[in-house]
Structure 1
């Protein structure tokens, strides 16, 4: 259960202000059809994070536990620094909007997650915990907790979030995860 709750928390918080959350807002404003957008987000996240978790579990098998602990700990600390750099939407993302809400969401979210903070976090979490299923479930729930409200509410109130504070709190969370991984 620790893998599930840590995965949910880490990804939900890291996702706030992330490129994919901005993408969710863009899709919600463009299509005004939340269900196909949410379905696309969920499927893209499951596929992307399953691949990331699989890779993380391979890393876990290749490395001895002591090296893995140091790698995971320092990776969490690196994530803490990375979270402080806010994302922006690429202009190329707008070209795929012609495919409709579900397909555009599926394609754009899958591509946007490649190499993204939450995908890297999924790799790290899968390397740290033995339960790939719990990590994938947790990271997907975390993505939904951060993105579904944005899709449902559209522009209402999203711009009023204290993004700098949220990024700092997220950085602190990853820093604490890194330090506890290294110390314990």
Structure 2
């Protein structure tokens, strides 16, 4: 009985998977990851690394970017022999759209304050990228922006550009 249920679940999961890619997909993914890591490292270097005792604003983004770069280069070296890649589908564009909306958020932040771009980012990510209902999108977006507002301004004392002064 349990064996039959397990086989049925495995079959359903297999049907939901995107089509398999090949070595080309592994290579393209590794090159994209390497590019993201290198650009992130260069940008974070510009913010200043500081030291481990007095970290600058770019230290941890730099560390993460170097890690992304190293892992992507390893994938580039050994990935052609792996068989677990997935072909690019329409859902492959979702992370790229997420990155673009985050860049728009960063551009809008100094011009309009924290609240408006943060609320718009939450709505886009929840409703359009995540497929949530309008009701849950509205509730979660407002609650998230309020929580981050309180956390950054009052909990951590980080001065963000903001429209609402409480």
Q: TM-score, normalised by structure 2?
A: 0.29
Q: Which has the larger radius of gyration?
A: 2
Structure that is richer in helix per residue: 1
